[in-house]
Structure 1
């Protein structure tokens, strides 16, 4: 019997059984990129994690509306400049050219990592009307005030005597938050340091600006997600996700805004991915401890010994739970490459197996089924991909034992084998989003199979003639080309 899906809810700090608001349907909102520069590898880790979550919810039978926004206005740098304006200045382009350029690059990167597109991908600049209306509602409900054309959220009014209300998600007290509040241009007019802008008056040189009831200005960064999640998922919806770095202030402010406008906190479950480290340290451009996705693919970096297939990198990411830190290193990637290759070899071997057991003689088949069910149960435990993969590798050992003759195919029925293949393939490719590169191109693979069979026959003949030099030369040449040859009792097989 399938297990219940449990999620770790950041808001309550505990695992909870997932119960959607509407049976059979899930509303999922994930904070997307700010498209003023190329997407960072750490962001890729977050989006791959939520891609798996999206895929698994659909595999559980839910109809999922997945909303992931594009931020193209309102996200300010520490000195108060809009990130899109800065990107436009550095690129010598119009802000919307910058937004389009890096949106395209982001989409290309998501396709490279085999991440499914969201159901809806709204842009902040396409929802200015909705954001202005939300500011109106927050003001009308007494949770904001206007000063010199800017509108600030009133944290004291929101708390209403409960100093732990603002900070509920991040677990930080109001006095800490006030001490850490950064001072942006023109925000000395705030009543309290913890208040934050939901609409900002634009200076004369500010490029991105819109007319509003408070004058020409632009929305605060946090406002867009509140407005767009409400528009597409409702005042209450199921899951809100993002990186740990967004927990405060971005997500904390979203909750406050939703309460201020709708009297509801928005999402019921909050999921957060942890950070990506490299060589045990936080990634940092200033000390050279950083690598881009492209450099990881090409190997053009001092931090890696070679380029890595995007699927190897995706597999590496899945070996750590989304709530755990992930430490990137060349050694870890080498191990992931070998593990992924071993997984695909077992999968390709499985495709060639023919069951011969009877309905009464399916002991091995039952063991495989039980192992697969255990892998799915791990996914039900807060999408635990590393434990699910550990279960899968236990199955890999069983598959290899079947191929090598240590286990008998007489103990698995045709039905068991078919159901096991289907279930394992669904987990690996539909849910975890991996790709079998060696078998992805039907006609090309068929032609390659024929060529490889000739090479393997030549190698087998060399072995029969005890021409070990030729046999080893063929094996080494294949290895250099990324082809692994495995010798079994029924002959040699190959994989890439």
Structure 2
């Protein structure tokens, strides 16, 4: 089988390109991580799942991925204009805890969330507060090269001095300045030379004692948000990254500023492929706490949905398209996961001897079709459609009893190969689930009742098993079979 070439859409070039890393078979992958001041919402998690799919696809294609994701535990202010309060310190004041306690608590929440959703943990997860020296050194380098200036509240990067500032947006320096003013993306600070200039180091307010502050050559303060990613990616991955991932909201400011300061400091291309994930809306509306449609992972788990159902829904729309999260969609995801579980169970139970060349051809065909889809800029809707087409075809052959045990093993192996990308832990559906002793006794009692033609008691026990244990029974010529349902 000829492996299809991997193509990724590059925000920088505005087109799909064949992916070629700088070093053969090694991928330096940096992803913007969480600002740890609150619970991640499902929009955040959608982006992390998309990045997880990207890493899984890279690994499926034989690449060794070095995956770095930062933890922003200082410096992310409430305003895009380097104004307002630090989000972590603000949360600390509201919750009457220290900023360090807030950062530690929400870092743990984030790690628990990605573990629950079976998102592969990044290999390196540097915290901003542990890399202040690296940030200071990077700012000193920019200062030496003449890219900085001082205001009353900090050290700023002069964006007019960096050629092609804004290249990620497709806008010129002048157009981007007009766009930010017109869209009021960044309130104007009269001390800034240009609206696009950004803080590299912020001074601590004279009348307020910050919990997180450090000495620097310019005065006591804390790093700007943008410098954090540049310093940490440079330390762990070097001056040029193969892939940098994040949300589309980061394109005009955060990622544009990362490019400017990184390339100004090193003189080398910062990122070769930019990967951006689109927004999530809820029931057709923007997600917000005021509308009551703001959901965290725990909110959905508390409503009785399982992690597989949530992951399935969040990965089922192409990452570059807006995802409309609906509870109807979540119910459909629930049915999809149930069907997947039943399919895996059905394959496991095949006992018929023999195998056929026809099955081997079907398996090879759908492996290639799925691979083509995911290698075409992670086309998950198409990949999932191919998987369901394959399942329908196999179910028909199972109905016709045309699949032997060795065939079933080949089919299971392909499903587990699909799952290297899907991350749904399909192998768990193949495990024997132990029934509670009371449920086992009830099943035996029902079998006895059926033999004695006491159908009223048999039906009563069937109902009790479903209501109490979530077990439904199926009477077949091979005997009574059971399965768990929601």
1:85-96 to structure 2, matched below 5 A, reads: 85-96=89-100
1:147-166 to structure 2, matched below 5 A, reads: 147-148=151-152, 150-159=154-163, 165-166=164-165
Whole-angstrom CA distance in 2 between matches of 1:479 and 1:394? 31
| CA distance 1:255–1:375, change in 2 (3 Å) | same
Whole-angstrom CA distance in 2 between matches of 1:466 and 1:316? 45
RMSD (Å), alpha carbons: 2.6
Matched, 1:176 2:179: yes
| CA distance 1:451–1:393, change in 2 (3 Å) | farther
| CA distance 1:240–1:486, change in 2 (3 Å) | farther
Whole-angstrom CA distance in 2 between matches of 1:397 and 1:272? 33
| CA distance 1:383–1:195, change in 2 (3 Å) | same
List per-residue Cα deviations over 1:197-217 (Å, max 9, x = no partner): 111122121412211111112
1:104 alignment counterpart? 108
1:162 alignment counterpart? none
Whole-angstrom CA distance in 1 between matches of 2:331 and 2:47? 22
Indicate if the aligned counterparts of 2:46 and 2:314 stay in contact, CA closer than 8 A: yes
Equivalent of residue 244 in structure 2, options 221, 230, 240? 240
Higher RCO (CA-CA < 8 Å; seq separation 6+): 2
Equivalent of residue 214 in structure 2, options 175, 193, 210? 210
1:433 alignment counterpart? 423
> How far off its partner does 1:146 sit?
2.4
1:331 alignment counterpart? 328
| CA distance 1:296–1:363, change in 2 (3 Å) | same
Normalising by structure 2, report the TM-score: 0.89
> How far off its partner does 1:144 sit?
2.2
1:396 alignment counterpart? 391
| Secondary structure class of the residue paired with 1:448 | coil
Equivalent of residue 195 in structure 1, options 169, 194, 197? 197
Structure 2 unaligned segments of length 5 or more: list them. Answer: none
Whole-angstrom CA distance in 2 between matches of 1:344 and 1:456? 22
| Secondary structure class of the residue paired with 2:27 | strand
Matched, 1:36 2:37: yes
Whole-angstrom CA distance in 1 between matches of 2:389 and 2:441? 33
> How far off its partner does 1:464 sit?
7.1
Equivalent of residue 420 in structure 1, options 405, 411, 418? 411
1:53-452 to structure 2, matched below 5 A, reads: 53-78=54-79, 80-148=84-152, 150-159=154-163, 165-172=164-171, 173-174=175-176, 175-179=178-182, 180-183=184-187, 187-204=189-206, 205-207=208-210, 208-299=212-303, 307-354=304-351, 356-357=353-354, 361-404=356-399, 406=400, 408-409=402-403, 414=406, 417-428=408-419, 430-436=420-426, 439=429, 445-448=432-435
> How far off its partner does 1:449 sit?
9.3
> How far off its partner does 1:489 sit?
6.3
Whole-angstrom CA distance in 2 between matches of 1:45 and 1:495? 29
Whole-angstrom CA distance in 2 between matches of 1:371 and 1:130? 48
Whole-angstrom CA distance in 2 between matches of 1:315 and 1:108? 18
Indicate if the aligned counterparts of 1:29 and 1:239 stay in contact, CA closer than 8 A: yes
Structure 1 unaligned segments of length 5 or more: list them. Answer: 160-164, 300-306
Whole-angstrom CA distance in 2 between matches of 1:399 and 1:365? 12
Moved more, 316-325 or 24-33: 316-325
Whole-angstrom CA distance in 1 between matches of 2:180 and 2:297? 34
Whole-angstrom CA distance in 2 between matches of 1:106 and 1:71? 12
Whole-angstrom CA distance in 2 between matches of 1:220 and 1:486? 62
Moved more, 289-298 or 416-425: 416-425
